[in-house]
Amino acid sequence: MSQHRFHGRYSTHERTCDAPGCVEAGEFRAPGQHRHGSDGPGEWRWFCLDHVRDFNSGYNFFAGMSTDQIMQAQSPIAGWQTETRAFRPTAGIDGVPRWADFTDPLDAIGARAAAIRRTAAGRAEMIRFTPPERAALEVMGLGAETDRHGLRRRYSELVRRYHPDRNGGDRRHEERLQSVVEAYQLLRKAAAFR
């Protein structure tokens, strides 16, 4: 079956026109009773040139729809409020806003682009640290944007939280305290903080 996209003709001699009593070749397709949708592809009816012209002159896409459904179908942002597989929050990008949180697609695209730029900037900042230093930052719960003052403040906060002399004698966190002390010792000597 060859297709001539310019005028919509599908040249074939296997199919006859669906118009009652017509024996011409059905070379032009027209929407059937069942439309394309989320439940699968729709049906096509096949007509000859004369009958497809008749069909098109009387076709009404909005037939059977309520006023609200017609307005929704004509909306330039129709479909953006729904969440599709490609735009799920788990589409491979962490921390990026969900498409379903926006009513305007341009706001969604802008927020997504800003989040991607922030993620890329954070990765670029992490390059200044060695892999052991990155692991130490993770132990401390810090990001690449931290400075020496922020490192000291976070260390003091974690020591108060985990040291038995500071938390009422609770020794359950001694192992965590040890990893915090080791991480701080590594990071305070890091070239990235000089």
Bridge partners (DSSP) of residue 37 are: 40
pLDDT tens digit sequence for 88-111 = 555 545 555 666 677 787 887 888
Q: What is the pLDDT of residues 19-48, one digit of tens each?
A: 999 988 888 888 877 766 656 667 888 888
- The domains found in the chain, sorted by start residue, are 2-58 (no CATH), 85-126 (no CATH), 131-193 (1.10.287.110)
* Cβ partners under 8 Å of residue 9, min gap 6: 3, 27, 28, 49
Residue 144 CA to residue 123 CA, distance in Å, equals 8
Contacts of 169 (CB under 8 A, 6+ apart): none
Would the pLDDT of 6 be above 50? Answer: no
